[in-house]
Amino acid sequence: MSDHPSRPPQHVAIIMDGNGRWARQRSLSRLEGHHQGSAVAQDIVAAAAQMGIPYLTLYAFSSENWRRDSAEVSGLMTLLQHSLETKADELHEKGVRLKVIGERDALPHAILKTIEKVEDQTKENTRITLQMAISYGSRAEIVHAAKSLAEKVRDRRLNPEDITEQLFSDHLYTAGVPDLDLFIRTSGEHRISNYLLWQLSYAELVFVDKLWPDFTPEDFKEAIATYNTRERRFGTAA
Ligand code: IPE
Ligand code: IPE
Ligand code: MG
């Protein structure tokens, strides 16, 4: 079952980490780091589309990031809303389908409206699906799936014995999107931080030392090249 080494990953997910440290190195505010990070994210979406990667998931804001000070949180929400608003047409023209994963109820009304608008505008696009993880936490996602299955069982619309891995996947925010092939985290941190725990079961992990605002399409290509050197075995003998 091992993949052919040159097969491009179908689904790449990135933890875009290091904006704060990048800003501190330059005596800038953390928010200026996030602004630079947002510009880099746009370049990476374009590079992924160009490389024919059909699914890209970017971690923009975690459920734990709500614990940051309120100025940073509101600055990030404004930045996310503004970049979605101003880049919507460009994303659409590039054939990007936007999908936001995360706990929507926690988001400010204005950003929620923008998300719904851009998701609707881009829903027929097929070149690349961009999942933006906003107010996203993987454990919360799994609990949400468990609750919706439990409700179906309670209402006698589902038998417990019919719960399979596939059915469980279909109740996650990422329903319909294939599992990760490649996980990338920048900034030298070697942890998962509550990201896509179910979906990364067999992902290849690539950690990059560069801080996210310094990450380039070349670095992205290098991470894909590293992925292509990995032998994926999915439990079979070497
Ligand atoms: C990633 O950069 C962006 C978000 C988490 C929103 P950080 O803000 O975590 O930057 P560091 O890790 O403090 O450098
Ligand atoms: C993960 O990065 C979330 C995002 C990049 C959006 P964090 O910087 O929040 O993760 P920890 O706290 O270092 O694990
Ligand atoms: Mg960080």
Ligand 2 nearest-atom number relative to CA 15:
5
Ligand 2 nearest-atom number relative to CA 64:
9
Q: Which ligand has an atom closest to residue 20 CA?
A: 1
Q: In this structure, what token pair is assigned to residue 113?
A: 């409206």
Ligand 1 nearest-atom number relative to CA 211:
14
**Contact in structure between 34 and 75 (CB atoms under 8 Å):** yes
Q: How many CA atoms lie within 13 A of 59 on its CB side?
A: 25
Query: What's the whole-model pTM score?
Result: 0.96
pLDDT confidence of residue 7: 72
Judge whether 17 counts as a catalytic residue: yes
pLDDT confidence of residue 179: 98
Say how many Å lie between the CA of residue 189 and the centre of ligand 1: 11
CATH fold for domain 11-137+179-229: Undecaprenyl pyrophosphate synthetase (3.40.1180)
pLDDT confidence of residue 5: 40
pLDDT confidence of residue 6: 61
Whose Cα sits closest to atom 6 in ligand 1? 61
Sequence ranges of the domains in the chain: 11-137+179-229
Judge whether 19 counts as a catalytic residue: no
Distance between terminal CA atoms of the chain? 11
pLDDT confidence of residue 142: 98
List 65, 125, 194, 228, catalytic entry: 65
Mutation pick for ligand 2 pocket among 17, 134, 192, 215 (CB with most ligand atoms within 8 Å): 17
Which residue spans within 49-180 are E strands per DSSP? Answer: 55-62, 96-101, 128-136
pLDDT tens, per residue, the chain with 238 residues = 344 446 789 999 999 999 999 999 999 999 999 999 999 999 999 999 999 999 999 999 999 999 999 999 999 999 999 999 999 999 999 999 999 999 999 999 999 999 999 999 999 999 999 999 999 999 999 999 999 999 999 999 999 999 999 999 999 999 999 999 999 999 999 999 999 999 999 999 999 999 999 999 999 999 999 999 999 999 999 8
**Contact in structure between 171 and 149 (CB atoms under 8 Å):** yes
Ligand 1 nearest-atom number relative to CA 24:
14
Whose Cα sits closest to atom 12 in ligand 1? 18
Which residue spans within 137-231 are E strands per DSSP? Answer: 182-185, 204-207
Say how many Å lie between the CA of residue 186 and the centre of ligand 3: 9
- Residue type present at position 192: I
Whose Cα sits closest to atom 3 in ligand 2? 62
Q: Using DSSP, how many helices (H) and how many strands (E) does the chain show?
A: 7, 6
User: Which residues are paired to 1 by β-bridges?
Assistant: none
Say how many Å lie between the CA of residue 220 and the centre of ligand 2: 19
